[in-house]
Amino acid sequence: MGVIILSGVSISYFLKGIRPLIWLIIFTVLLQILFSSGGKLLWHFGPFSITDQSLINGGFIFIRFLLIIMISTVLTLTTTPLAIADGVQTVLKPLKGFHFPVDTLALMLSIALRFVPTLMDEMETIMNAQRSRGVDFGSGSLKHRVKAAVPLLVPLFTGAINHAENLSTAMEARGFTDSEHRSKYRIYRWQMKDTISWLVFLAVGVLVLGIRKW
Amino acid sequence: MKNIIQVKNISFHYPDKPLLFDNLTLDVHEGEWLAIIGQNGSGKSTLARLIDGLIVLDKGQIIVDGLTVNDQNIFDIRNKIGIVFQNPEDQFVGATVEDDVAFGLENRQVEREKMHEIVKKSLMDVSMLDFRNRIPANLSGGQKQRVAIAGIVALSPKIIILDEATSMLDPRGRNEILDLVYQIKKDNQLTVISITHDIDEAANADRVVILNEGRIIDEETPENIFQNTGQLQSVGLDSPYTSQLLAALKHRGIKPQRSYLNDEELIAWIKQLISKK
C-alpha cells in the first residue's frame, strides 16, 4: 500500500489494470470458498460448502491477486520501457559468466521496444488499406476472422523483414560490429533512494519470515 | 584537386542478376558536393554501399582517403564516411533521440563523459536539442532525418553520403535537410555525395554525374548537364523547373539563349526582357 501511495499513480489506473482479470479473480475466489474443506462448517448445499477456513482462504487469494496486479501496474506505469530494458540487462549481468549473450539480448530488447509503435502504425495502415479494398475484419465466424487476418499479417511480416534489413545496413554503416565491444551512453547510478528502498524491502522481508509460521 | 574517393574499374553484380557495373570509374574530389542522379535501378544506392564496404566488389578497387576498401580497412573507412539512408524510420536504432545519436559513438567505445558532450553538441548543430528525450514515434520524418544527420555529425566523418535521404520528406522538410547538410559541409569542410532523383537537389551541387543502367553517361556542372534536356529525358529524368519554364516560354515565342538558368539568372533575364519592351 505504501508503495502504491508513494508512486503517486491514480487509483483509476489500478482499477483499469484489474478489470480484465476480474472474472478470473471472482472464479478462483469462489472456487476456493465453495470447495475447500476444513474449519467450522457454516453452510452447505450438495457438494458446496462454506467454512470459516475457506472464507479466509478466499480472502487471501483475493488480496494476493490484488497485490500482484497493483505491483505490476506500479512497475509498468512508473518505468519507461527503455529503463526496463536496461534493468533487464543489469539483472542478467551475472549470467555473462555462463556465456549468456546479455548485451545482445538487451540490444534486441531495446530495438524491439523501439519498433513497437512503428509496427502498430503500420498495422493500422495495412488494416485501413485492406478495408478500403473490401476486407472485413472483426465480424463473421471464427474461421472467417482467422482468414481475414492473413492479408494483415503477411504484409506486416514482410514489412518487418524489410525494416530488419534496412536497420542492419544502417547499424553496420554506423560502425556496429557486435554488442560486446561497445561503451554505454546511459548509466544508472546507485542512489540513496535505492539504498532506502532495499532496506525497507529487507526489513519487510525479515518481518514476514518472522511472523510466518509452519 | 585531391581525390578523396577513387572508384577504379569496378565490376559488380547482385546474385542471380546481370552485371550492374562493368568497369566503372569515378573520382570524387575533396570538398565538393557531388550529385549522382539516375532512375531507379541505375545503381546509385549500390555504388554508395560499395564505397562504404557494406557489399563486396567483384572486381576493381575503391580507395577512400588513401585506404583501399577491404576487410582490414573497413572500420577505418566507415569512420570516414557517414551515410544518411532513405527511410527515416529504418535507420533509427536508439530508443530515444539522444540514444540514437550516441549509437555510433558507443560502437567506437567512446568514453561516457565525452559521449554526452558530443551528443549535445551534435543535436545543437541540427537544432534538435529540445527533442533529445523524444521517442522516434513522436517525431516527423524530417526530424528523424535530422537525428540521423546528428548521429553522423557526432562521428565527425570526412564524407557524408545522402542516399536519397530526402525522398520520403515533404518539400519543406527536404529544403531544411539540404540547407542543414550544406551548412554542416561548409562548417567542417566535408565532401558530400548526394544520391537523388530530385533534379532540383542536384541543381545545387558542384558536379553532377548521371548514372544509367550502371554506366556513367555524363559528368558535368549542373549548368552544363541541364542544358542538355534531351539527354535527361532519354534516361528518364525530369528537367529542372526553370528549364521547363524556359521551354514553355520558347513554345510561346519567347526565345531564351540557353535552355537552363538558375533562379537568379532567370529572374535577371526576365527583368531584362521586361525593361527592353
Alpha-carbon gap, residue B169 to B149, rounded angstroms? 14
Mean pLDDT for A69-91 is 81
A94's grid cell: 551475472
| Domain identity same for A31 and A63 | yes
What was the pLDDT predicted at A160?
Answer: 92
pLDDT of residue A8: 66
Residue B261 pLDDT level (bands cut at 50, 70, 90) = confident
pLDDT in tens, B207-230: 999 888 888 888 888 888 888 777
Question: Is residue B91 domain-resident?
Answer: yes
B10 within domain boundaries: yes
Q: What pLDDT does A44 receive?
A: 67
**Mean pLDDT of all residues in chain B?**
86
Quick one: pLDDT at residue A86? 80
In this prediction, residue A213 has a pLDDT band, given cuts at 50, 70 and 90, of low
CB contact under 8 A, A176 and B103: yes
> Could you give phi then psi for residue A10, rounded to 5 degrees?
-70, 150
Evaluate whether residue B249 is within a structural domain: no
Q: Spell out the residues 6+ positions from residue A196 whose beta carbon is closer than 8 angstroms to its own.
A: none
Q: Please compute the mean of the pLDDT values over residues A35-50 and round it to a whole number.
A: 66
pLDDT of residue B84: 92
Tell me: do A67 and A85 sit in the same domain.
no
Output the pLDDT for position A52.
75
Q: Identity (one letter) of the amino acid at A118?
A: T
Joined grid coordinates for residue B210? 548521371
Range of the domain at A32: 1-78
- Point out the least confidently predicted range of A47-61, A150-164, B81-95: A47-61
Same domain, A61 and A130: no
Residues A58 and A110 in one domain: no
Q: What is the DSSP letter of B166?
A: T
Rounded Cα distance between B260 and B265, Å, is 9
* B151-169: average pLDDT: 90
* Shared domain check, A58 and A154: no
DSSP state of B190: -
Nearest CA in chain B to A86: B95
Of A18, A44, A78, the one marking the end of a domain is A78
Q: Report the domain count for chain B.
A: 1
Is residue A22 predicted with pLDDT exceeding 80? Answer: yes
When pLDDT is cut at 50, 70 and 90, the band that residue B83 belongs to is: very high
The answer to whether A43 and A49 are in contact (CB under 8 A) is yes
CB B214 within 8 A of CB B22: yes
Distance from CA of B136 to the nearest CA of A (A): 8
> What is the model's pLDDT at position A9?
67
Provide CB contacts within 8 A for A36, sequence distance 6+: A51, A53, A54, A57
Assess whether A103 and A70 both reside in one domain: no
Q: Which domain holds residue B66?
A: 3-239
Cα separation of A85 and A105, whole Å? 9
Q: Residue B42: name the closest of B242, B215, B258 by CA.
A: B215
Cβ-defined contact of A85 to B95 (cutoff 8 Å): yes
Whether B261 is in a domain gets the answer no
CA distance B89 to A194: 36
Query: Residue B120: its pLDDT value, please?
Result: 92
> Average pLDDT for residues A183-191, to the nearest whole number?
80
**pLDDT single digits (tens) A112-124:** 888 888 899 999 9
Q: Closest Cα partner for B159 from B62, B259, B16? A: B62
Residue B244 lies in a domain: no
- Residue B194 vs residues A97, B10, B36, B201, B227: alpha-carbon distances, Å: 47, 20, 6, 8, 21
Residues A67 and A133 in one domain: no
Q: Is residue B254 part of a domain?
A: no
Predicted confidence band of residue A41 (pLDDT cuts 50, 70, 90): low
> A141-169: per-residue pLDDT in tens?
888 888 888 888 999 999 999 999 999 99
State the Cα angle at A179 between A173 and A180, rounded to 5°. Answer: 130
B47 occurs within a structural domain: yes
Q: Tell me the mean pLDDT in the region A164-178.
A: 88
B257 found inside a domain: no
Domain count, chain A: 2
| Cell numbers for B217 | 553517361
Mean pLDDT along residues B29-51: 88
DSSP assignment of A99-115 equals T--HHHHHHHHHHHHHH
**Bridge partners (DSSP) listed for residue B28:** B5
- Closest listed residue to residue A130, CA positions, set A150, A144, A106, A113: A150
Confidence of residue A12 (pLDDT cuts 50, 70, 90): confident
What CA–CA distance (Å, rounded) separates B110 from B151?
14
Put simply, whether B88 touches A (Cβ < 8 Å) is no
Chain B residues with CB under 8 Å of A88 CB are none
Q: Which residues of chain A are within 8 Å of residue B82 when distances are taken between CB atoms?
A: 173-174
Shortest CB distance from B78 goes to which of A117, A175, A184?
Answer: A175
Is there a single domain that holds both residue A136 and residue A59? no
pLDDT at A82 over 60: yes
CATH code for the domain in which residue B93 is found: 3.40.50.300
Answer whether B136 sits within 8 Å of A182, measured CB to CB.
no
pLDDT higher than 90, residue B246: no
pTM summary value: 0.80
Report whether pLDDT(A40) > 70.
no
| Interchain CB distance below 8 Å, A171 and B103 | yes
Which residues lie below 8 Å from residue A29, measured CB to CB, with a gap of 6+?
A58, A61, A62
Place of cell 497485490: A67
Q: Is there a single domain that holds both residue A7 and residue A92?
A: no
**A to B CB pairs, distance under 8 Å:** 96
CB B155 within 8 A of CB B187: no
Q: What is the DSSP string of B53-120?
A: TSS--SEEEEEETTEE-STTTHHHHHHHEEEE-S-TTTT--SSSHHHHHHHHHHHTT--HHHHHHHHH
Q: Which three cell numbers stand for residue A119?
A: 509496427
pLDDT score of B253:
83
What's the sign of the alpha-carbon dihedral B173, B178, B179, B180?
A: positive
What does the DSSP assignment read for chain A? -HHHHHHT--HHHHHHHHGGGHHHHHHHHHHHHHH---S-EEEEETTEEEEHHHHHHHHHHHHHHHHHHHHHHHHHHHS-HHHHHHHHHHHHGGGGGGT--HHHHHHHHHHHHHHHHHHHHHHHHHHHHHHHTT---S-S-HHHHHHHHHHHHHHHHHHHHHHHHHHHHHHHHTT---SSS---S------HHHHHHHHHHHHHHHHHHHH---
B164 touches chain A (CB under 8 A): no
- A63 shares its domain with A112: no
* B136 close to B92: Cβ distance less than 8 angstroms: yes
Same structural domain for residues A191 and A202?
A: yes
3-class DSSP state for residue B24? strand
Is some CB atom of chain A closer than 8 A to the CB atom of B54?
yes
* Whether residue A214 has pLDDT greater than 60: no
The answer for residues whose C-beta is within 8 angstroms of residue B255's C-beta and 6 or more apart is none
Q: Are residues A74 and A130 in the same domain?
A: no
Q: Which residues contact A26 (CB under 8 A, 6 or more apart)?
A: none
For chain B, the straight-line distance linking the first and the last C-alpha, in angstroms and rounded, comes to: 46
When the pLDDT of each residue in chain A is averaged and rounded to a whole number, the result is 82
